């Protein structure tokens, strides 16, 4: 009998063969997809997030853990859509116009997926109108903006102003992150939240959704 803890452990270890097999066994044993996500995958990614924050794990190991999470996600995703379970809702993420960095954004996306969110990745070098288009398409309530260059940080303000100016977007919350950012800067451009790292982004998205 496969256990949720086995799945969490496989994700923490980054063993994508085991994570897939354990997810398959759990589903075959009649465990619901939601339970596999909430009891196995999310606790695994939470440990990864905690270790990453504490410098006990580094980006390559986090990416390997995320790959193991995705292997299990591939098994349960079709079942989640069948039951109409949307998880926690959608988050649109992207790197602002002029900035081509994506490792931080990708990490945040993986952590959010591991946390039960549906992630719409708008990519890099994204102009304000593209974010608005993706928000409308996905009906997402949270937008995550990333910038790694001080020169592209003002692009965040442009996106925030564009979203706030759109009457259909009044309920969208915007969170920002990236190496050069601070809480003060996030406040000064009107962001709803700032996350210093990928696992904080998941906590923040949970807060903003509520």
The domain ranges of the chain are 4-82, 90-209
Residue from 209, 153, 205, 210 nearest 49 by CA: 205
**Taking all residues of the chain, what is their mean pLDDT, rounded to a whole number?**
91
Query: Which CATH topology does 90-209 take?
Result: Rossmann fold (3.40.50)
Pair 142, 112: CB distance under 8 Å: no
The yes-or-no verdict on residue 206 having pLDDT over 90 is yes
Residues 6+ positions from 107 with CB-CB distance below 8 Å: 59, 62, 63, 66, 198
Q: What is the mean pLDDT of residues 189-200?
A: 91
∠ CA 62-63-65, rounded to 5° = 65
Burial of 52 (0-12, 13-18, 19+ CB in 10 A): buried
Q: What are phi and psi of 193, to 5 degrees?
A: -170, 160
**pLDDT tens-digit profile of 83-117?**
655 578 899 999 999 999 888 898 888 888 888 89
Cα separations in angstroms, 91 against 41, 80, 119, 190: 19, 17, 5, 18
Residues 6+ positions from 145 with CB-CB distance below 8 Å: 93, 94, 95, 96, 131, 156, 159, 160, 174, 175, 176, 177, 191
pLDDT bin (cut points 50, 70, 90) of residue 81 is: low
Lowest mean pLDDT among 10-14, 27-31, 45-49, 133-137: 45-49
45 Ramachandran zone, left/alpha/beta (phi>0; psi -120 to 50): alpha
Cα(172)–Cα(142) distance, integer angstroms: 5
Can you give the pLDDT at residue 77? 83
Pair 108, 201: CB distance under 8 Å: yes
**pLDDT tens-digit profile of 108-146?**
888 888 888 999 999 999 999 999 999 999 999 999 999
Can you give the pLDDT at residue 163? 96
Q: Does domain 4-82 have CATH number 3.40.50.720?
A: no
């Amino acid at each position: 009998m496969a256990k949720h803890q086995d799945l969490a452990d496989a994700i923490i270890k980054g063993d994508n063969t085991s994570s897939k097999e354990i997810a398959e066994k759990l589903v075959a044993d009649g465990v619901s997809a939601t339970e596999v996500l909430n009891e196995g995958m999310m606790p695994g990614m939470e440990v990864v997030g905690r270790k990453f924050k504490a410098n006990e794990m580094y980006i390559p190991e986090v990416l390997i853990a995320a790959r193991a999470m995705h292997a299990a996600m591939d098994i349960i995703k079709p079942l989640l859509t069948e039951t109409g379970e949307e998880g926690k809702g959608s988050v649109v993420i992207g790197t602002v116009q002029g900035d081509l960095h994506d490792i931080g954004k990708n990490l945040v996306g993986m952590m959010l997926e591991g946390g039960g969110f549906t992630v719409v990745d708008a990519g890099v070098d994204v102009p304000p109108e593209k974010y608005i288009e993706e928000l409308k398409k996905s009906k997402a309530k949270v937008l995550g903006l990333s910038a790694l260059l001080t020169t592209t940080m003002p692009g965040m303000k442009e996106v925030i102003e564009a979203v706030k100016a759109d009457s259909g977007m009044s309920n969208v919350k915007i969170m920002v992150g990236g190496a050069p950012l601070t809480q003060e800067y996030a406040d000064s451009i009107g962001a709803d939240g700032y996350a210093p790292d990928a696992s904080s982004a998941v906590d923040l998205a949970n807060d903003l959704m509520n």
